Structure 1
Amino acid sequence: MKKRAMTLVLMLALTAGVASALDVGGTSVPDKAEVAGQSLLLNGAGVRKKVVFDVYVASLYTGAKVGDAATILGATTPRRMELRMLREVSAGTMHESFVDGLQDNISAGDMKRFAPQLDALDKVFREVKTVGKGDVIQLDLLPGQGTRVTVRGKAYPVIAGDDFASALLSIWLGKSPVQAGLKAQLLGAR
């Protein structure tokens, strides 16, 4: 019995430092992320579908698991939305889908107010040109700074504004999310 207990303790010790991952749509999603020196937990993840096509696996990382979209949108802590591409999409199409998602969730006045941020986001996507299967887009929401966009491991200049960062998250978590089932999954529903 003691030998079995020691074996179990040894196995637990060996696997304690190993990060686990969740399989979502055949894609491995890490259960933790490091943003602004803070360890974040996978809040939820799911596949974004458009018509019959799987477009990307979206993963939301927060400081603590939260099932309420308003709480996440209003948080003053780092958050990350990560998109793992399942197909090739042009930069223009990606930018257009972000703009459409914003228009569905914020006022026309806010869209005008965010014109400089949308231009900065468009500049990132124009430089990227296209995202292919397996590419990763990270949107790090950094309180007091704004949004850092990273594509294929290359970080771009921070796009200013906490309010814009929250507006971006509304694409997936707002009143009219890009996909209701995906919103539920990002909020922890399985």
Structure 2
Amino acid sequence: MKKKLLCAMFLLVSHSTQAVELKGVALPDVVHLGNSNLVLNGAGVRSKFIFDLYVTALYLNAKKNMATAVLSDLGEKRIAMYFLDDISAANLLYSFDEGIRDNHSATELAAMKEELHKFDVICHRMVRLKAGDVILFDYQIGTGTQVWVNGGLRGTIAGSTFYNTLLKIWLGEKPVQQDLKLKLLGGF
């Protein structure tokens, strides 16, 4: 009886810690960032026309299924982008800029002018991303937004507000892709 109970517990635990896989990309259920273990909140594929561009995943301190709850969360966060196809930094930056403009007023954009410029500089340094490349956008309390490409830190934008600017690309009122927003909010 003990063996059966142990086997059942092992299967339950091993099943709950399995990574999600999308388009051949294994996404861990938990990642460590700063002093926090973040859980996979949701993940999906960004598609444009008939092309799958990247898999993206959202990690939070605790699962949330409402965009307002994610945006008001003051804890550490991570957006991970796993590229499925090659893309130039200019095209990626254009899509980021478009997502940011679509979800912010002219007044809000003017107030973020410095942060947006720093983000543009960081993105232009990437030159070209290839299939298999990974970008991490990490938010850490006291540090701000960090941009990592393939494990190398590309730049940091201080403060707590810019990260939500990025999150709104995927979770704002006018997300880059509505079904991706739902998947990032736990709809897998």
Query: Retained in 1: the 8 A contact 2:78–2:138?
Result: yes
1:187 Cα shift? 0.3
Corresponding position of 1:62: 60
Measure how far apart 1:134 and its partner are.
0.7
Residue equivalent to 2:185: 187
CA contact (8 A) 1:91 1:125 kept: yes
Unaligned runs of 5+ in 1: none
> Is the 1:25–1:46 Cα contact (8 Å) retained in structure 2?
no
SS of the equivalent of 1:49 reads strand
**Residue 32 (1) aligns with residue 18 (2):** no
Q: Which amino acid aligns with 1:81?
A: I
Query: Out of 97, 117, 128, which is 1:119 matched to?
Result: 117
Structure 1 residue 112, shift from structure 2 partner: 1.9
Find the aligned partners of 1:3 and 1:62 in 2 and give their Cα distance: 36
Equivalent-residue separation in structure 2 for 1:104 and 1:161 (angstroms): 22
- Letter of the 1:37 partner, please give it: N
Q: Give 1:93's match in structure 2, choosing from 68, 77, 91.
A: 91
Identity %: 37
Cross-structure match for 2:155: 157
How far off is 1:155 after superposition?
Answer: 1.1
Match for residue 167 of structure 2?
169
Aligned residue for 2:74, secondary structure, equals coil
Q: Which runs of 5+ in 2 are unaligned?
A: none
Output the CA distance in 1 between the equivalents of 2:170 and 2:184.
8
Distance 1:118 1:147 in 2: 12
Equivalent position of 2:77 in the other structure: 79
**Corresponding residue of 1:148:** 146
Cα 1:109–1:2 change in 2 (3 A) is: closer
Question: Aligned to 1:103, what secondary structure does the other structure show?
Answer: helix
Report deviation, 1:161.
2.4
Change (3 A) 1:144 1:74: farther
Kept in 2, the 8 Å contact 1:55–1:87? The answer is: yes
TM-score normalised by structure 1 residue count: 0.90
Q: C-alpha distance in 2, partners of 1:87/1:108?
A: 33
Q: Report deviation, 1:145.
A: 3.0
Q: Give the C-alpha shift of residue 2 in structure 1.
A: 4.6
Q: 2:19 aligns with which of 11, 18, 21?
A: 21
Distance 1:140 1:3 in 2: 43
Among 133, 136, 139, the residue aligned to 2:134: 136
Aligned in 2, Cα 1:3/1:113: closer, same or farther, shift over 3 Å?
Answer: closer
Give the CA deviation at 1:26.
2.6
> How many pairs does the alignment contain?
186
